[in-house]
Amino acid sequence: MPRVLPRLVTLAGLLALVACAERTDGSSACPSLCTDPTLAVRDTVFDAVTLDTAFGGFPLPGALQQTVDPYLPLVRRGDTADVRLVFRFDSLPQSVSTTDTTPVTRVRSAALLVTVDSTAIGARPADGVTIDLFDVDTVTAADSIPATMAPLFRPDRRIGGGVITAAQTRDLVVDTLRIDDAVVLDRIRRGARLRIGVQARGSAPVAIRLLDVGSGAAGFVPRLRYDASPNDTVRERLLFTRSLTPTASAGSYRSQVLVVRGTAPLGGGALEVGGLPAWRSYLAFAIPRRFFDSVTVVRATLDLVQRPRRDVAAARDTVGVRPRLVTAGREITDVRQQVALLNAVLEGARFPVVPLVPADSGLRNFDVGPLLNAWATRADTLAPQALVLFSEGEGVLEAPFAFWSREAPQASLRPRLRVTYAPRRPTILP
C-alpha cells in the first residue's frame, strides 16, 4: 500500500492539472480571425392589410372593462370632457350581519371605498380632487344611457363625497368617500337599490382612474361599507357592486362609465384612435406562412398617414398611440369583440408608443416587429393576424387621432407594412 500511494498521488496531480472548465471564447482574436460577413438585410413594403375598421365606445361597461384593463376613468375638463361613473348596489342585505339576522335599524359610517390608480396618466390639481356622490337611481328603463343619467347628477340628489388629496393620487390609496347614513338606511329598510353616481371636480382639470379589477380582489374594487350593528364588536359590512338589470347582461353594469361630454369622431371611414369616448382601430393582415418560414424579421413598421384633427379639444396635446396584438381566438369572429378583448398579459411584449398630436398630419411609423415575430411563432389557427391601434390616454384624455384607411383615394395614403428582414439560411457552412 505505501508503494502504491505515491503513484496514486501522482495520477491525481496529473488529473488535477488537466481538469479545468471549458473556455472557448476566442473573441480577442477577432476580427482578424473572425471574418463574419455582414448580415444580408433586405427591405420590402407589403400591401398586406386585408381589413381595417374602427370601433368607438371605450372604455366598456364595468365587468367587460375588467377583462381588458382594470380601471374606470373619472374626468372633468372644462367644457370639453366629462366622464362620470355609476356604481350599482342593487341588493342591500336587510340583516345586521351574516350571522345576526336582526333587521337593520341604524347605519353608521357609510362610505364608498375606491382605490385610485396612481400609475395612470392624467391630471390632478394640487389642492386635490373633490368627488361628489349622487343618488342616480331611476325608474326609467334607459338607465345606462348618458343622456338619461347625466341629469340625475344634481345638487338635490347629492348624497355624499370627499376630497382625494394630491398626495393620495400619487399612491395606491384606498379613499373613503362618505355617504349620508340615512340614505343607506332608507334603501335597506325599503329593500331598494342604491345606485351611486360619481363625479369629479377640482380647481383645475381632473383626470384620474379608479381601479376595478373584479369582484375577486377585495382591495381593488369599489365597495360600499357601513356599520349596521349596535354592537361594536361586529365588523362593518362590505358590499361589492352588483347589478340586477338588464336581466340578460346585468353583470356587465355593476360599474358603468358615462361619457357625458367628449369628442366626436372624424367619420368617413377613417381609422380612429383615442378621444372620449375612445376609439380603437383594427387592422387585419394576410402574411403567408411561407414568408415567415423563409425570413427572420429584423424590423417591421405599420406605416399610416395621419389625418389632422384641428377642430377638436386637446388638438395640441401629445398622447401616445401604440399597436396591440389581437389575442382573441379564431372562434371569436366578431371583430368588435376581438377589439374589446385586448389582454395585456396575453399580448406579452409592449410595443413602442408613438407620441402624436391630433392636429398634426403625415406619415407615422408604428414599430410592429415583435408582432410579426409573434405571428411567425403562433399557429395561424390560434388567432387572426391582426392588431389594434390603442391610445394611451383611452378613457382619460380626449385627444382624438385619425388615419387614412385602405379606402383612401390615393394608394400612397393607405396603410402599408414595411418589413426589414434577413433571409433565413437553410444551414450555415464553414
Partner 1 sequence: MSRRLRLLAGAALALPATLLAQGSVSSQGFGYPTGQLTTRALGTGGAMAEFDPAAPINPAATGNWGVMGAYAQYAPERRTTTVGGSRASTFLPRFPVFSFGIPIGERLAFGVSASTLLERNFVTQVTGLQPVRDDTVSVVTTNEVRGNMSDLRFSAAYTVRPWLKVGAAYHVIGGENRIRVQRVFNRRGTTVVDSTLSTVNENSDLGFDGGAWSVGLDVRPLPNLFVAASVRQGLSLESRVGSFVPSRADVPDRMGLAVRYDGLGGTRLAARWERTSWSQLQSLGSGGSRAFDTQEFGGGVELNGPSIQRIPTDLRIGYRQRTLPFGVNGVQPEERGLGGGVALPFARGRFIAEVAVERLSRTVPGLANVSESGWTTAVSFRLRP
Instruction: Summarize as ranges the residues that interact with partner 1 (CB under 8 A).
Output: 7, 10-11, 14-15, 17-18, 20-44, 46-48, 288, 290-291, 293-299, 352, 367, 369-370, 373, 420-430
Angle at 413 between CA 409 and CA 415, to 5 degrees: 115
Q: Cβ 337 to partner 1, closest distance in Å?
A: 28
Q: How far apart are CB 320 and partner 1 at their closest, in Å?
A: 15
Shortest reach from residue 428's CB to partner 1, in Å: 4
CB 321 within 8 A of CB 354: yes
Q: For residues 148 and 373, which CB has a smaller minimum distance to partner 1 in the complex?
A: 373
Q: Please report how close the Cβ of residue 378 comes to partner 1 at its closest, in angstroms.
A: 15
Nearer to partner 1, 28 or 381 (CB): 28
Kindly report the number of other CB atoms within 10 A of residue 63's CB atom: 20
Q: Which residue, 136 or 368, is less far from partner 1 as judged by CB?
A: 368
Cis peptide before 93 (omega within 30 of 0): no
Residue 179, classed as helix, strand or coil, is: strand
Q: Compare residues 174 and 286 and give the one whose CB is closer to partner 1.
A: 286
Q: Please, which residue, 13 or 191, has the CB nearer to partner 1?
A: 13
Smallest separation, CB 330 to partner 1 (Å): 22
61 vs 68: CA distance, rounded Å: 11
- Burial of 343-379, coded b for 16+ CB within 10 Å and e otherwise, reads eeeebeeebebbebbbbbbeebebbbbbbbbbbeeee
Is 50 or 176 the residue whose CB approaches partner 1 more closely? 50
Tell the smallest beta-carbon distance from residue 424 to partner 1 (Å): 6
CB of 39 to partner 1, least distance (A): 6
Closest CA to 133 of 94, 81, 89: 89
**CA distances (Å), 380 to each of 247, 317, 389, in order?**
37, 39, 21
Contact between 231 and 349 (Cβ < 8 Å):
no
Q: Which is nearer to partner 1, 172 or 349 (CB)?
A: 349
How far apart CA 404 and CA 100 sit, in angstroms, is 63
The pair phi, psi for residue 110, each rounded to 5°, is -70, 135
